[in-house]
């Protein structure tokens, strides 16, 4: 698996890095209310895919999941009827592969025209965004779909070879409800490609994040600690040690980050002074929080203690990130604050309850 995310929390989403601090000459200075609204909205948007993605991760292997592959830039999804399971070996390689890909993107933006790269990426994420948003909408569509409307079944099948050597390449089953979801998602996709509007960006970003939390499963807590620990070092190095992370995040015109305008109160929906949060800061802690929810379920005590503890720890960590970022007016590696909080609080709780050994020894493959 390979996962790359621009997961530095950046105070300003402009394309010019020198404008990252509000108050630069010639730029609009956001009001305190506008800044608070932007940061609060980012926090809320980060919590939604984690909470609902974790709940859906508990039973996603029992439900039909739309076949989709979101495998290169943001999150890895390879979901047919089973979620993708991350092993300790995957987790150990993850930061190395992410670093190579991140630096490769940085070189691409330095060597080639940013306009053409983003054009290709727009087409790529147009397809992936439609698939991700359709899957996100599917449970809601099942609830509101009129009972008196026929729900016809369809199948898209591609094979290669013939006879006994015939091999399935694509076997995608869908129904009328799925087609409606695809139609609505396609409208959002066209809106995003044509306008690059921040609302369309966020719809795709939230869908990517929710899919990632739901379908990417850590096999145990030890693997989660390896993954988060490695990305802790990765995040700190690429944000504080170089300008690579911030440069790529600001050059990359794709829904790999959630954005919210700090000047919304003054300029409305046409606002352009954005605060941003990378999807990696949502998906990476999110899959660990979802793991702890499945651990709660495995204990069969009818409680969600570890889930709620880690969820509150995430709120604390992200809130601290935003506070430090706003105070020092500099991009922050959010995992610097999120990893200690999301691991530390549940581990201390398990130590207090005498369940630490059970937490680290139990395999949670589904």
Q: Which residues are catalytic?
A: 235, 281
H-type alpha helices, the chain: 32-59, 88-111, 114-144, 176-195, 198-215, 221-236, 244-251, 264-267, 280-299, 305-328, 335-353, 356-361
Give the residue from 295, 189, 211, 201 showing the smallest Cα distance to 254. 201
Return d(Cα 226, Cα 88) in angstroms, integer: 7
Return d(Cα 258, Cα 291) in angstroms, integer: 23
Please state the φ and ψ torsions of residue 159, each to the nearest 5 degrees.
Answer: -130, 165
C-beta separation of 91 from 229 below 8 A: no
SS3 state at 329: coil
Question: How many angstroms separate the Cα of 180 from the Cα of each of 152, 184, 207?
Answer: 12, 6, 16
Give the residue from 144, 186, 288 showing the smallest Cα distance to 227. 288
CA-based diameter of the chain, in Å?
71
Residue 86 pairs in a beta bridge with 218
C-beta separation of 134 from 142 below 8 A: no
């Amino acid at each position: 698996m390979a996962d790359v995310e621009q997961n530095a929390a950046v105070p300003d989403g402009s394309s010019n890095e020198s404008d990252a601090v509000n108050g630069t000459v010639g730029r609009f200075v956001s009001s305190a209310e506008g800044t608070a609204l932007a940061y609060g909205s980012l926090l809320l948007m980060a919590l939604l895919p984690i909470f609902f993605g974790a709940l859906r991760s508990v039973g996603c292997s029992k439900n039909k999941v739309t076949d989709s592959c979101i495998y290169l830039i943001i999150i890895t999804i390879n979901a047919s009827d089973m979620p993708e399971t991350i092993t300790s070996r995957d987790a150990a390689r993850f930061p190395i592969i992410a670093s190579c890909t991140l630096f490769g993107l940085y070189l691409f933006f330095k060597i080639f025209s940013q306009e053409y790269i983003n054009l290709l990426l727009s087409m790529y994420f147009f397809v992936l965004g439609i698939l991700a948003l359709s899957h996100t909408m599917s449970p809601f569509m099942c609830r509101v779909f009129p009972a008196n409307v026929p729900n016809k079944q369809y199948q898209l099948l591609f094979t290669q070879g013939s006879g006994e050597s015939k091999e399935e390449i694509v076997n995608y089953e869908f129904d009328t409800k799925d087609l409606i979801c695809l139609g609505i998602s396609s409208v959002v996709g066209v809106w995003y490609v044509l306008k690059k509007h921040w609302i369309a960006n966020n719809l795709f970003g939230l869908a990517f994040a929710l899919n990632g939390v739901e379908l990417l499963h850590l096999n145990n807590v030890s693997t989660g600690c390896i993954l988060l620990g490695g990305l802790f070092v990765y995040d700190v190095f690429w944000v504080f040690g170089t300008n690579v992370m911030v440069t790529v995040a600001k050059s990359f015109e794709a829904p790999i980050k959630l954005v919210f305008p700090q000047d919304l109160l003054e300029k409305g929906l046409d606002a352009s002074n954005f605060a941003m949060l990378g999807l990696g800061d949502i998906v990476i802690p999110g899959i660990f929080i979802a793991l702890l929810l499945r651990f709660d379920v495995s204990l069969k005590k009818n409680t969600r203690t570890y889930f709620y503890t880690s969820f509150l720890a995430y709120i604390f960590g992200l809130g601290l990130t935003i506070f430090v970022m706003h105070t020092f007016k500099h991009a922050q590696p959010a995992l610097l604050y999120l990893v200690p909080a999301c691991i530390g609080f549940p581990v201390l709780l398990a130590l207090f309850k005498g369940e630490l050994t059970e937490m680290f020894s139990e395999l949670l493959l589904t």
